[in-house]
Amino acid sequence: MPTANQSKQIESALVVDDSAPQRQHTVRLLQELGVEVIYEAGNGNEALELLALLKLPPGLAVIDLEMPGMDGIELIQQLQQKGVEMPLIVASSREASLLQSVETMIQALGMNVLGALQKPLSSEKLMSALHAFKPGGNVSQKRADPGPAICEDDLALAIAERQIVPFYQPKVDVQTGILKGVEALARWIHPERGVIPPDHFIPLAEACGLIHDLTIAMMDQAMQQAAVWHSRGLPIKVAVNLSPLSLEQPDFMQRILDLLGRHSLAADRLVLEITEGSVVANKGNSLGMLARLRLKGFGLSIDDYGTGFSSMQQLARIPFTELKIDRSFVHGAHRRKNLRVILQSALDMAQRLELVTVAEGIETIEDWRLLQSSGCNIGQGYLIAKPMPANELPIWLKGHHRRLPELRVEGDDGIARPE
């Protein structure tokens, strides 16, 4: 018999299921595992109403997938949109492959999913899912502890004083391993706290209106660096991440055109990465801004593709040049058929739309080989390199050249021969 030990950190839970007997069965199992307070809801709407009444969300939610009205997936999307953070378990009597896809989707939403379990539920199944539970942990909190809260004034000062700098992560050709570009990722080099990752200050910058200055500061530094690399015979493209809010800023385009002029760069040397979700929303005519940027020659990349539920029609009307497949569909794709299917269909779609395809989050040689055989163009991930300060790139590049034979398509020695 499982013991209650592993679940003793979970004090309260919410069970959402339209079938009363199944709901009560789950409640009984949770009680056996020592969960003290258990809320019940018969459908998605009831669950949302209940959560709105609670000060803190419960420590766990067990959600049935198929329910009349709002189904489990829609409920989870709503929870994500409302910023409700709690560990989730989904339960369904449907086939394991469907459950696995749902689990992947929830992970891609950035939600903390402990498991997708096949009904009938048992203590053993719940226990094994609860093994993934870490008190206070969720996906967005897995990074280093941010330390004391960051305040707006500190952030404004940090932007003005150029404490926020780009680290650069290489983007390489998947067939040959050759460096094609880099992505600039913001890092706050804090005088006391060391390197602070972007997740800890970008949301604040967006909330308090500092994001425009931050984006311009990142662009300025990235362009300056690109000009240096180009002058040293390294004509790589530099990608910069844009907040959806930048696209709503009327003077945004003029500001980056001014910067281009100042650094004597052509617009096609830059790639602007925008997340899939933010362009489909088209707030404040962001589509119009994207079209104007494209007309000026900037490369436009759809970032985190696969997490935003956009359709091919929606994407086809936006003048993108690149599709970046989210790492939740890349990492582990060589051993998970569901991920492979999503990955391949994204690659096929991008090819039909004549977009450059980029896979992010490549960590293993097995996933790298899979991408080679799937026809992906560009790869990025810890297997190749982590983001690094600009001055480390030449050293990395030397070591990387020695690795090229290993990264090249197997059987290709890299020597061009006549047909």
Residues in touch with ligand C2E (CB under 6 A): 169, 185-186, 197-199, 202, 215, 218, 241-243, 273, 303-304, 327, 360-363, 380-382, 387
| Between 8 and 283, CB nearer to ligand C2E | 283
Sorted by sequence, the CB contacts under 8 Å of residue 142 that are 6+ apart come out as none
By a kind-dependent CB cut-off of 5 to 8 A, residue 220 interacts, out of Ca ion, ligand C2E, none, with none
By a kind-dependent CB cut-off of 5 to 8 A, residue 218 interacts, out of Ca ion, ligand C2E, none, with ligand C2E
Residue 388 DSSP code: B
Smallest distance from ligand C2E to CB 402, Å: 20
Question: Could you say which residues in the range 238-297 bind Ca ion, by CB under 5 A?
Answer: 241, 273
* # chain residues binding Ca ion, by CB under 5 A: 4
| Between 103 and 304, CB nearer to ligand C2E | 304
Tokens of 158: 């940090």
Give the other-Cβ count within 10 Å of 314's Cβ.
15
Smallest distance from ligand C2E to CB 148, Å: 20
Smallest distance from ligand C2E to CB 326, Å: 7
Does 304 help bind Ca ion (rule: CB under 5 A)? yes
By a kind-dependent CB cut-off of 5 to 8 A, residue 377 interacts, out of Ca ion, ligand C2E, none, with none
| Between 43 and 275, CB nearer to ligand C2E | 275
Smallest distance from ligand C2E to CB 10, Å: 27
Q: E strand or H helix at 306, and its extent?
A: none
Q: At what angle do helices 96-108 and 337-352 cross, to 10 degrees?
A: 60
Smallest distance from ligand C2E to CB 277, Å: 11
| Between 269 and 327, CB nearer to ligand C2E | 327
Please give the angle made by the CA atoms of 19, 23 and 24, to the nearest 5 degrees. Answer: 120
Residue the block writes with tokens 């560009």: 378
By a kind-dependent CB cut-off of 5 to 8 A, residue 117 interacts, out of Ca ion, ligand C2E, none, with none
C-alpha–C-alpha distance, residues 289 and 257, integer Å: 13
Q: Choose the binding region for Ca ion from 54-62, 195-203, 298-306, 310-318 (rule: CB under 5 A).
A: 298-306
Residue the block writes with tokens 């970008």: 202
| Between 304 and 322, CB nearer to Ca ion | 304
C-alpha–C-alpha distance, residues 343 and 213, integer Å: 35
C-alpha–C-alpha distance, residues 410 and 416, integer Å: 15
Smallest distance from ligand C2E to CB 387, Å: 5
| Between 59 and 306, CB nearer to ligand C2E | 306
Under 8 Å between Cβ of 63 and 75? yes
Please give the angle made by the CA atoms of 382, 388 and 394, to the nearest 5 degrees. Answer: 105
Under 8 Å between Cβ of 78 and 109? no
Beta bridge pairs of residue 169: 183
| Between 241 and 338, CB nearer to ligand C2E | 241
Residue the block writes with tokens 């369904």: 92
Q: At what angle do helices 44-53 and 72-81 cross, to 10 degrees?
A: 30
Under 8 Å between Cβ of 358 and 301? yes
| Between 14 and 242, CB nearer to ligand C2E | 242
Cis before 389 (ω within 30): no
| Between 144 and 151, CB nearer to ligand C2E | 144
User: Which residue, 94, 78, 83, 2, is CA-closest to 41?
Assistant: 78
| Between 35 and 239, CB nearer to ligand C2E | 239
Q: E strand or H helix at 90, and its extent?
A: strand 88-92
By a kind-dependent CB cut-off of 5 to 8 A, residue 198 interacts, out of ligand C2E, Ca ion, none, with ligand C2E
By a kind-dependent CB cut-off of 5 to 8 A, residue 202 interacts, out of ligand C2E, Ca ion, none, with ligand C2E
By a kind-dependent CB cut-off of 5 to 8 A, residue 197 interacts, out of Ca ion, ligand C2E, none, with ligand C2E
What sign results for the dihedral spanned by CA atoms 174, 178, 179, 180? Answer: negative
DSSP output for 228-261? HHHHTT---EEEEE--GGGGG-TTHHHHHHHHHH
Smallest distance from ligand C2E to CB 381, Å: 3
User: Which residue, 338, 247, 257, 325, is CA-closest to 289?
Assistant: 247
Smallest distance from ligand C2E to CB 96, Å: 26
Smallest distance from ligand C2E to CB 296, Å: 20
Smallest distance from ligand C2E to CB 243, Å: 4
Indicate the residue whose CB is closest to ligand C2E: 381
Residues making contact with Ca ion (CB under 5 A):
241, 273, 303-304
